[in-house]
């Protein structure tokens, strides 16, 4: 069993690679434009907003992981987000990390697409 912050650490990277993949597959554009689009989707505010959509879709296990991540005591502070958004984003990233380490990539991508409104 990994700590929720460890799950969030790997989940952050896994989520970003999925976002970058989605963007590259949608359009062949300049890298700086891709980066701006990706940055807008991986920030804590966006992840926090996605939780409103995703939480009802979570399995019981995913809900527990989310709550553990959200409630974890982090020693870092949010740079450009409210504390609430930062904590909710940490919970979201913990779920992504859990699914990534579990090898359930389809579930991870399905949740991300649902959160982005691509269902």
110 is catalytic: no
**Rounded-to-integer distance, Cα 21 and Cα 32, Å:** 15
- 28 touches 114 (CB < 8 A): no
Which residue in the list 12, 85, 104, 110 is annotated as catalytic?
A: 12
**Rounded-to-integer distance, Cα 41 and Cα 15, Å:** 10
What amino acid positions are annotated as catalytic residues?
12
């Amino acid at each position: 069993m990994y700590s929720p912050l460890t799950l969030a650490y790997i989940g952050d990277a896994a989520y970003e690679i999925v976002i970058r993949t989605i963007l590259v597959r949608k359009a062949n554009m300049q890298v700086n434009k891709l980066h701006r689009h990706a940055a807008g989707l991986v920030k804590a505010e966006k992840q926090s907003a996605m939780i409103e959509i995703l939480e009802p879709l979570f399995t019981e296990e995913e809900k527990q992981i989310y709550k553990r991540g959200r409630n974890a005591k982090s020693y870092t502070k949010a740079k450009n987000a409210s504390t609430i958004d930062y904590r909710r984003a940490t919970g979201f990233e913990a779920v992504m990390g859990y699914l990534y380490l579990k090898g359930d990539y389809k579930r991870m991508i399905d949740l991300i697409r649902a959160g982005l409104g691509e269902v």
